[in-house]
Amino acid sequence: MSPLPRVLLARKVTPAAEERARRDFDTLVADHDLSTDEAIEAAARHKAVAMVIGASVKLDAAAAARLPDHVKIIANTSVGYDHMDAAAVKARGIIVTNTPDVLTDCTADLAFMLLLAACRRAHEYDVLMRQGWGVKMGFGEWLSMKPSGKTLGIVGMGRIGRAMADRARGFGMRVLYHNRSRLPAELEKGAEYFESMDAMLPHCQILSLHLPAGGGTLMTREAFALLPKGAVFVNTARGALVDEDALIEALKSGHLFAAGLDVFRKEPDYDTRFAELPNVFLTPHIASATQETRDAMAMLALDNVAAICAGRPALTPV
């Protein structure tokens, strides 16, 4: 019997996925999410043919050049892979995979939760209750914003953007979108296409980002200014897309009614000025963090590893 393929789990995965990895491969399991140097060193030491990684392993061109020759696949446990220079890794003859589809529903669910929480002042009411319901509200006081029937703008109408649009339709929203190209009618489902994001922004009572990072800062001070006064902003995509100073100013001035944010520029840290704003609902980059979805993401990463080790094509190459 040939020896089991050597795999490095450079990040902690779920128990079910770890059990499978230990059963199907000769697996070295890291006890924490490894840094880039730690991961490259562990892969070399373990003679790994596969590395299962998360965003703590940042493979820029220089790090890609240091990957050991025996590594055949880098399996990301995420759909976004802006933590690596995929072209540089692939130029080394190494397959790169990600985890599309399996996290679409949970990411759209969380984006919609942030949308509802931001519109309905969920954070403020929750704090108020935990402080003993000190403020008794009059009929016309502390009012929030009705999400149903509003106009939602989506930037990035890929799988997650379309799942967000599906949820919005259930709330009677008018859906606008900006995307690199217009979708066919069966995917558009009545959403209105804007070739220019700037042309769309003035119509968006709520704006939600669903595109990868890489194209620089999309939501600049000027872009926020184009949103109508009282708009709500939701981001489950990447913090790098947003000028956070401009966002904080817009939230403070009341130009934005509220925001719901799952992603930040300085992850795994964040600008704590957000925490001082009552009109922000914050989550720590957990859109895909349900038991079901994290299991599915880790299993898909391992499916990709298994395919490459068996000489088959990867399921979800990038």
Please give the positions annotated as active site. Answer: 238, 267, 285
Q: Which range of residues in 76-84, 88-96, 148-156, 181-189 is near ligand 8YV by CB under 6 A?
A: 76-84
Q: Does 78 bind ligand 8YV (CB under 6 A)?
A: yes
Q: Considering only CA atoms, which of 156, 144, 152, 187 is closest in space to residue 169? A: 152
Interface with ligand 8YV, residue 302, by CB under 6 A? no
- Between 159 and 178, whose beta carbon lies closer to ligand 8YV? 159
What is the closest distance, in whole angstroms, from the C-beta atom of residue 106 to ligand 8YV in the complex?
A: 9
CB 164 → ligand 8YV: shortest distance, Å? 15
Residue 285 touches ligand 8YV, criterion: CB under 6 A: yes
Rounded least distance, CB 244 to ligand 8YV, Å = 17
Among 55, 73, 118, 164, binds ligand 8YV (CB under 6 A): 55
CB of 121 to ligand 8YV, least distance (A): 27
Question: Could you give phi then psi for residue 64, rounded to 5 degrees?
Answer: -60, -40
Distance of alpha carbon 244 from alpha carbon 266, whole angstroms: 10
d(CA 133, CA 126): 9
Question: Which member of 17, 34, 103, 114 binds ligand 8YV (CB under 6 A)?
Answer: 103
In the chain the first and final C-alpha atoms are separated, in Å, by 32
80 in contact with ligand 8YV (CB under 6 A): yes
CB nearer ligand 8YV, residue 20 or residue 285? 285
| Residues paired with residue 9 on neighbouring β-strands, in sequence order | 29, 52
Instruction: Report the alpha-carbon distance of residue 246 to residue 296 in Å, rounded.
Output: 36
| Phi and psi based region of residue 214 (left: phi greater than 0; alpha: psi -120 to 50; beta: remaining) | left
Residue 76 CB-density burial (10 A; 0-12 exposed, 13-18 middle, 19+ buried) = buried
Instruction: Report the chain's C-alpha Rg in angstroms.
Output: 22
User: Which CB atom, from 159 or from 285, has the smaller least distance to ligand 8YV?
Assistant: 285
Distances 38 to 25, 33, 76, 77, 303 between C-alpha atoms, Å? 20, 9, 16, 18, 24
- Is residue 54 close enough to count as binding ligand 8YV by CB under 6 A? yes
Number of residues engaging ligand 8YV in binding (CB under 6 A): 9
Question: Which residue number, 85 or 204, has a Cβ lying nearer to ligand 8YV?
Answer: 85
- Binding residues (CB under 6 A) for ligand 8YV: these are 54-55, 77-80, 103, 285, 288
